[in-house]
Structure 1
Amino acid sequence: MLRKIKAGDEVAFGKVYQEYFPKLLNYIYSKTQSWFLAEEVTQITFVKLWKNRSRINEDLAIEIQLFRIAKTSLIDEIRKQNNLIAALREFSQQEVSSGVWDQIQLKEINTMLQKGIEQMPPVRKQIFTLSRIEGYSNKYIAEELSISIKTVEKHITLAIKQLRKYFLIFILIVQKLFFY
């Protein structure tokens, strides 16, 4: 199986994904008590496995390699969260007028929105930008891209779901920081 994945066999990768996704998800959840973070780290693990498949060690069990990738990915995500929490704490301790605070919040939200949009697949990104940023109707977008209105609606729904997930971790951190 390792040789097949290393050679780029998507079917073999799919089998490994099906077998180990639940195991990794539960492992990460047991460490974080967050299904959102567990799902994110598990997905990151498989993305890293696929992107770095040429460096797979054929002499080491796939399970060991997956759990190592998951562990380092979890550490990376926790560091990112801790850096964000530290920045928010430092910032919250500074005295800032409400007008400046509002501008900073708006700028941060816009930055996060741009990052979330950049992570979308190209067609979804294009449709979401045309709809929500540029304000075009679904009918106009469908005609311009030669697709159905239902397809436009589906991409917008998926884009919004993707952005909700992207913002959820930020919201959870802010709640934990300021309300607990």
Structure 2
Amino acid sequence: MSAIADIQAGDPFVFEQVYEEYYLKLYHFVLGKTRSEWLAEEVTQTTFVKLWENRQRLNPEIALSLQVFRIARTTMIDYIRKQNHLSFALTQLKSKPEAAANELDAKIDYNETNRKLAKALTELPEMRRKVFELSRLEGMSYKDIAEQLSISVKTVEKHISKALQQLRPLLYGILLIGWILRNFIKNI
């Protein structure tokens, strides 16, 4: 059995071996790109968390090293973007406090909405959640989802429809609360 198949099967011993083999390589890769020990440590740890959490998505036809470094690269880019957004927000807050505060409120609302949506997704049945995430979050076509999950396109359509029915009350509630808050703030 290959390391990828063992990791997909949830073998912690093989995962630990992969961790030991790639930890320093990833750390030095990120450190070389960012010159930040803290960021190198964060990205390396997050890479292994993502590798474990998404182990079912590993492709046995692609070298494990390539997949591990791809996860690390993407994770590093995400961290750098977050740092840049934070730096920009702090600069805005210093130069235009009122406008920056409004923008910050909008981002907080966005993050709160994402948290609520993520919680609602966990309440969907597993297959419905997988189909919804592949379609709406990863942008896959119904046909590609059907092939990946070995189900029919009609089944994909039904899962999407039922997921939207289940999520719609939450989404309407979030939109309504946001509208009420914006109008309340305008009238103060």
The code of the aligned residue for 1:62 comes to: L
> Which of 54, 57, 76 is the equivalent residue of 1:55?
57
Q: Distance in 1 between matches of 2:7 and 2:96?
A: 51
Q: Could you say which residue in structure 1 is the equivalent of 2:85?
A: 83
Q: Could you say which residue in structure 1 is the equivalent of 2:44?
A: 42
Q: Distance in 2 between matches of 1:17 and 1:41?
A: 13
Alignment size in residue pairs? 97
Q: Distance in 2 between matches of 1:13 and 1:44?
A: 14
Q: Distance in 2 between matches of 1:95 and 1:24?
A: 39
Q: Could you say which residue in structure 2 is the equivalent of 1:92?
A: 94
Q: Distance in 1 between matches of 2:9 and 2:97?
A: 56
Q: Which runs of 5+ in 2 are unaligned?
A: 99-188
Q: Percent identity?
A: 50
Runs of 4+ in 1 over 2 A off after TM superposition: none
Q: Distance in 2 between matches of 1:56 and 1:68?
A: 11
Q: Could you say which residue in structure 2 is the equivalent of 1:30?
A: 32
Q: Could you say which residue in structure 1 is the equivalent of 2:73?
A: 71
RMSD of aligned Cα (Å): 1.5
Matches within 5 A, 1:7-26: 7-26=9-28
Q: Distance in 2 between matches of 1:93 and 1:22?
A: 41
Q: Which runs of 5+ in 1 are unaligned?
A: 97-180
The code of the aligned residue for 1:11 comes to: F
3-state DSSP of counterpart to 1:27 = helix
TM-score (structure 2 length as normaliser): 0.50
Cα drift, residue 63 of structure 1: 0.5
Q: Taking structure 1 as reference, are residues 81 and 95 closer, same or farther at Cα in structure 2, changes over 3 Å only? A: closer
Cα drift, residue 95 of structure 1: 6.0
Q: Taking structure 1 as reference, are residues 95 and 43 closer, same or farther at Cα in structure 2, changes over 3 Å only? A: closer
What's the CA shift string for 1:22-58, capped at 9, x where partnerless?
0000000000000110000000100000000011101
Q: Taking structure 1 as reference, are residues 93 and 6 closer, same or farther at Cα in structure 2, changes over 3 Å only? A: same
Q: Distance in 2 between matches of 1:38 and 1:95?
A: 33
Q: Could you say which residue in structure 2 is the equivalent of 1:177?
A: none
3-state DSSP of counterpart to 2:60 = coil
Q: Which has the higher contact order (CA 8 A, sep 6+)?
A: 1
